[in-house]
Amino acid sequence: MEIDRISKRYAGTAVLTELSVRADAGQVVGILGGARSGKTTALRITAGLVDPDAGEVRIGGVPRNERTRTMLGYLPQRRGLPDGVTVLDHLVHLAELHAMATNDAHRAAEVQLAAFGLREVRSAHARDLTDGERERVLLAGALVHAPTVLVCDEPFGEHAEQTAQVLREHAERGGAVLVATGDTTAAQRFCDRVTILHNGQSVAEGAVAELRAAGATQVVVEMPDARPGWAEGIPGVEVVAAEQGRTVLRLTGNTDDQVLLRMAMAAGRVRAFRSGEPTLADLFAPVLGSGS
């Protein structure tokens, strides 16, 4: 699945500007952004719910059209279940909406009921389901027509681990997964690649591991008795945060973390010293904290 230089404006305001994202078979790819970054609009365009002003979305190398619609499953941000039908009838209906014959739709629905452990609630209505069961029904509905591409808007909620397992299994079966999220922790844990979106524009893109490895080393030092500002002015060291004996530092130059440890020990008793790659939140806090 490929988003190729899509742009969108609403009432004269640019919401997306030449955004390009690619999710290949076997990958879980995230569009990571803060509020009003444009990520939900990007997914709605991908799902065919909104047309871009420029650019296009290709599924399997083909520009999105009625035929490719059946190749894509969509889990929206605001999601619910109709209360007037059973779980089974809901899944059958969704399969039929994606051009499945009635008999095939019933078989597909039964497959998903079994896959998601929902056979016991197949005749239940939405009001009778637990939150966990409701989330599984929603995921089953996105997958009932066997799409190759799965598009999910803010999927990592209360049942993030369960949802992430479903997305990963879909990718491992040869599918492509595109998610939009504002959750940096979830994106770091569950995505292979991310595009960082800010004010409708991509500001960074790449494999999660590569983005983190390219960032400056971050060091956390716990020194309960150290004088305030002990790390100020050290060449190649930026103080990110300091409070209650805990100092977070970023190595911006050639300073070795072991050299920094010796300097810390000279300044006071070191209770803990941890260094490592920065998180996505560390790297992109300025753009993810503001301005789907």
pLDDT given for residue 291 in this prediction: 42
Sequence-ordered list of residues with C-beta below 8 angstroms from that of 197, at least 6 positions apart, any chain: 19, 31, 32, 33, 37, 38, 39, 42, 203
Helical (H) or strand (E) element with 161: helix 160-172
Sign of the alpha-carbon dihedral angle for 116, 121, 126, 132: negative
Domain ranges of the chain: 2-212, 215-288
Fold of the domain spanning 215-288: Alpha-Beta Plaits (3.30.70)
Tens-level pLDDT at each residue, the chain (292 residues): 999 999 999 999 999 999 999 999 999 999 999 999 999 999 999 999 999 999 999 999 999 888 888 999 999 987 788 888 999 999 999 999 999 999 999 999 999 999 999 999 999 999 999 999 999 999 999 999 999 999 999 999 888 999 999 999 999 999 999 999 999 999 999 999 999 999 999 999 999 999 998 888 889 999 998 888 999 989 999 998 888 889 989 898 788 889 999 999 999 999 999 988 889 998 898 788 744 4
pTM: 0.85
For the domain spanning 2-212, the CATH number is: 3.40.50.300
